[in-house]
């Protein structure tokens, strides 16, 4: 066993003594030492309850003949960091999470690991650690949050976003908003929408790195049972020497993209799946999203998509397992990909059934024939950009309007709520990319302001920043090259016409090449006065690659 380097031999007396001082028995050290990487903390509802998941995982490990050893990592809440200085950190934390798992696993030479997750950057960070270390590994999430209820009406995270705008427009009172706040998010779990958290946890099942059942709700007996099964399954993976890089392959990533497109997942998946492929040394072209979108229909609509369902509805309809069963039967998945069950994708979903075809639509009745994410290129984004087309109203598939320029999110939000943005405008928020932010802040507050002010059918937003999965509307993000690198988005001037065609996948700045060249010659990168010299953000900005390359360290 790998762990014998720390537990066997005459010269390891002190090592064993350290374990004994914590209550371990000699026979415990004869078994595989299985790390339980628990991201539990009290900063967010997605992670507050993960101590119960960890207990169930450890029970499963012990029952299957292993010795569990728990340790933590950091975990940030995008919702609490949203719209303020704190949002510089969540994406940047992904690399720290991956690195911290590497440090603990290699520093202590554990034999295998169970990775307990739930929220946005934490799931991809742990997946990256799994393929980097390539030791027996399995994931388990804390599950989605239940749906809220106010006055016998379902309510969730995105409904609160719209309600903020209703207050600004005088439609409802602050007191009414406060009343809704108390019940929209009724308990623990990943927030009740298709944000990055639920998207990435669903995609972990599509990837094959967790047991089927990713949609089972937080705080339920089914979720705890899944956690116990996960603890038992890691011992099987260890005994059979099934490793992450046998599961995470080019084909399984294509399966993941297929499911992503079918559910209209968060645009952040482009960042995370690209980063995962790079970490696993898999040759990957981000245009795979665009190519697969041509043949994968949009079958599941989850909020923030207009008139979308809640995560609980998807679970009750059969979950991701049932969706994958349908995709598999129609030849859209690589059926022979290995998964952590020890079986193939086809074997995992062979008995899966769709319970509610209004929630998981059949292939002959999709929301659209093309998947719910769209890549856009043009002279404004030569290296690409992305839009969550599943959350765009049809009126905004094509849009042309004057640019309203903001070099940070905060003044853009103030202008939107202040009534300074008019129908037809294109709000441009720049210097918010991976390097320029730094940390590629989410523009959720800005897009929520556009929706809340009733402008979602008339105003677009273009940014080198990114979006939460909660984002709705014609929001074009990840514009590359970013402004801090002198990309075309840095050269836009107030009033320049921008034309967006989501159907065709184009974003064009109506300025001549000659004029852009003149502006580029005069351009200078602004100073990042808000970044402390020598801080993690300072180092991150110097090391990070572009969004379309996954925002990984160079």
Rounded Cα distance, 483 and 502, in Å: 22
pLDDT tens sequence across 291-300: 999 999 999 9
Q: Can you tell me the mean pLDDT for 180-201?
A: 97
Average pLDDT of the chain to the nearest whole number: 96
Q: Can you tell me the mean pLDDT for 3-9?
A: 97
Residue 346: Cβ within 10 Å count: 16
pLDDT at 528: 87
Single pTM value for the model: 0.95
- What is the H or E stretch that residue 539 is in? helix 536-543
- Residue ranges for the binding site for Mg(2+)? 78, 120-121, 442
Residue 71 pLDDT greater than 80, yes or no: yes
pLDDT at 469: 67
pLDDT at 235: 98
Rounded Cα distance, 497 and 331, in Å: 43
Residue 91: Cβ within 10 Å count: 30
- Residue ranges for the binding site? 78, 120-121, 442
- Provide, rounded to the nearest whole percent, the portion of the chain with pLDDT above 90: 91
Which residue shows structure tokens 């066997």?
Answer: 8
- What is the H or E stretch that residue 467 is in? none
- What is the H or E stretch that residue 536 is in? helix 536-543
pLDDT tens sequence across 421-432: 999 999 999 999
Residue 482 contacts by C-beta under 8 Å, 6 or more apart in sequence? 430, 431, 433, 434, 435, 436, 464, 489, 546, 547
pLDDT tens sequence across 464-503: 999 876 677 899 999 999 999 999 999 999 999 999 999 9
pLDDT at 128: 98
At residue 277, what are phi and psi to the nearest 5 degrees? -60, -45
- Tell me the three state secondary structure of residue 466: strand
pLDDT at 470: 67
Number of H helices, E strands in the chain: 22, 14
Rounded Cα distance, 101 and 393, in Å: 41
Rounded Cα distance, 104 and 115, in Å: 13
Nearest CA to 117 out of 36, 187, 192 is that of: 36
pLDDT at 335: 98
Q: Write out the two tokens for 386.
A: 């992305």
At residue 117, what are phi and psi to the nearest 5 degrees? -140, 180
pLDDT tens sequence across 345-404: 999 999 999 999 999 999 999 999 999 899 999 999 999 999 998 888 899 999 999 999
Question: Which band of pLDDT confidence, cut at 50, 70 and 90, is reported for residue 412?
Answer: very high
| Sign of the torsion angle spanned by Cα atoms 388, 302, 223, 259 | negative
pLDDT at 216: 98
Annotated catalytic residues are: 468
Q: What is the DSSP letter of 128?
A: H
CA dihedral 370, 374, 379, 382 (to 10 degrees): -120
Rounded Cα distance, 320 and 379, in Å: 38
- What is the H or E stretch that residue 479 is in? strand 475-480
Q: Can you tell me the mean pLDDT for 22-29?
A: 98
155 DSSP β-pair partners: 148
Q: Can you tell me the mean pLDDT for 124-139?
A: 98
Look at strands 381-387 and 374-378 and give their pairing: antiparallel
């Amino acid at each position: 066993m790998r762990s014998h380097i720390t537990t066997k031999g005459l010269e390891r007396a002190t090592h064993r003594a350290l374990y004994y001082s914590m209550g371990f028995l000699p026979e415990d050290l004869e078994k595989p030492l299985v790390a339980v990487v628990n991201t539990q903390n009290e900063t967010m509802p997605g992670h507050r309850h993960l101590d119960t998941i960890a207990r169930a995982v450890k029970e499963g490990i012990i029952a299957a003949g292993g010795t569990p050893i728990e340790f933590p990592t950091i975990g940030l809440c995008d919702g609490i960091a949203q719209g303020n200085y704190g949002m510089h950190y969540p994406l940047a934390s992904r690399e720290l999470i991956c690195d911290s798992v590497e440090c603990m696993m290699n520093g202590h030479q554990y034999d295998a690991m169970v990775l307990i997750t739930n929220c946005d950057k934490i799931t991809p960070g742990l997946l990256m650690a799994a393929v980097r270390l390539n030791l027996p590994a399995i994931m388990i999430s804390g599950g989605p949050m239940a749906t809220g209820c106010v006055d016998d009406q379902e309510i969730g995270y995105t409904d609160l976003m719209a309600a903020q705008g209703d207050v600004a427009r005088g439609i409802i009172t602050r007191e009414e908003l406060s009343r809704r706040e108390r019940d929209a998010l009724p308990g623990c779990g990943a927030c009740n929408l298709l944000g990055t958290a639920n998207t990435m946890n669903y995609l972990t099942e599509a990837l094959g790195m967790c047991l089927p059942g990713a949609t089972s709700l937080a705080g339920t007996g089914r979720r705890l049972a899944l956690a116990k099964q996960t603890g038992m399954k890691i011992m099987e993976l260890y005994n059979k020497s099934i490793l992450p890089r046998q599961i995470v392959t080019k084909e399984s990533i294509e399966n993941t993209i297929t499911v992503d497109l079918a559910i209209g997942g968060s645009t952040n998946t482009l960042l995370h799946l690209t980063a995962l492929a790079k970490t696993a040394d898999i040759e990957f072209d981000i245009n795979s999203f665009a190519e697969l979108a041509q043949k994968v229909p949009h079958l599941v609509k989850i909020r923030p998509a207009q008139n979308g369902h809640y995560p609980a509805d998807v679970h009750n309809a059969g979950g991701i397992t049932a969706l994958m069963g349908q995709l598999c039967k129609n030849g859209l998945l690589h059926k022979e990909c290995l998964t952590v069950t020890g079986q193939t994708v086809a074997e995992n979903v062979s008995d899966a059934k769709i319970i509610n075809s209004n929630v998981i639509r059949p292939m002959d009745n999709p929301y659209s024939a093309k998947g719910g994410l769209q890549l856009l290129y043009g002279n404004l984004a030569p290296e690409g950009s992305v839009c969550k087309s599943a959350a765009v109203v049809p009126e905004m598939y094509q849009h042309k309007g004057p640019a309203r320029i903001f070099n940070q999110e905060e003044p853009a939000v103030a202008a939107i709520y202040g009534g300074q943005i008019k129908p037809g405008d294109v709000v441009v928020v720049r210097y918010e990319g991976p390097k320029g932010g730094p940390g590629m802040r989410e523009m959720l507050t800005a897009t929520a302001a556009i929706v809340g002010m009733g402008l979602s059918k008339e105003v677009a937003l273009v940014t080198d920043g990114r979006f939460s999965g909660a984002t709705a509307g014609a929001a074009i993000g990840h514009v590359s090259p970013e402004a801090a690198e002198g990309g075309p988005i840095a050269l836009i001037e107030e009033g320049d016409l921008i034309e967006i065609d989501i159907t065709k996948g184009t974003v064009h700045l109506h300025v001549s090449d000659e004029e852009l060249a003149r502006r580029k010659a005069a351009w200078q990168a602004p100073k990042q006065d808000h970044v402390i010299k020598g801080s993690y953000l300072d180092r991150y900005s110097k090391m990070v690659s572009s969004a379309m390359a996954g925002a990984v360290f160079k």
